Structure 1
């Protein structure tokens, strides 16, 4: 009887088991790199208040070798936003001018260009579905 109950428990969906969505590849191509010096930083964000200057869901960097750089992430389907910058002097941070205006080239998903303040997540949001996705971001 104990063996039968154990076997039956294998087929019963327990409340703590949640299905895991299959991951897909998100490719982020950073375009219009003007200098071959430094590193490109790519920050991937999920919906929330941290975008664009908080802690990203995941971040990666890429050495600069030409006019573009490609970084890939393995993600579950959902909504995301990306912020990138080119750390031209390789000091590991985004250099800024007075009033927080960036000195180094930067960009956001949807190629959103802020005018006065940092963008909101909704300004740069895109959706990753069940298939691999590639986005391009032009930095300036």
Structure 2
């Protein structure tokens, strides 16, 4: 009987709970379409050569959007874009330059190439974290 009680306590232990990683997207200029967000663990060739751990799509209804990810403590990075026309993909200009607004954790602004994971790394501990990303 005590064994099952101990298992129940362990199930509700703070060591088994996910932290909340909250991403606030700012500077949403057009109130149409969706914000498409990818949450990544450390990987090579971030973000194009990696698969997100989880992705979310959130409808745009105002000048900011809030997305919450339940995560285990660790290192993560965010890549997102505003799919203004709702076609499910990032529209690009010549030479692959994004036509739609986008952003990365740490508000990293790419110059001549995309970011490395370390440029966008965010450490989440047991208490969680809230970050703000301003669309470019």
Which range, TM-score by smaller chain? Answer: 0.7 to 0.9
- Please report the TM-score for the alignment, with normalisation by the length of structure 2: 0.85
2:45·2:116 contact (CA, 8 Å) conserved in 1?
no
1:63-107 C-alpha deviation (Å, 9 max, x unpaired): 001000011110000000000100000000001111111000000
Runs of 4+ in 1 over 3 A off after TM superposition: none
1:20-67 C-alpha deviation (Å, 9 max, x unpaired): 753111111110000001100111000012521232111001100100
Q: Which runs of 5+ in 1 are unaligned?
A: 1-6, 8-19
**What secondary structure does 1:28 align onto?**
strand
**What secondary structure does 1:99 align onto?**
helix
Match for 1:64 among 55, 60, 66? Answer: 60
Q: Distance in 1 between matches of 2:67 and 2:20?
A: 10
Q: Which runs of 5+ in 2 are unaligned?
A: 4-14
- Give the match for residue 31 of structure 1: 26
RMSD: 1.4
Pick the structure with greater CA Rg.
1
**What secondary structure does 1:104 align onto?**
coil
Matched, 1:99 2:84: no
- Please report the TM-score for the alignment, with normalisation by the length of structure 1: 0.83
Match for 2:37 among 19, 33, 42? Answer: 42
Q: Distance in 2 between matches of 1:51 and 1:23?
A: 24
1:82·1:109 contact (CA, 8 Å) conserved in 2?
yes
Q: Distance in 2 between matches of 1:57 and 1:100?
A: 24
1:42·1:82 contact (CA, 8 Å) conserved in 2?
yes
Q: How many residues align?
A: 122
- Give the match for residue 130 of structure 2: 134
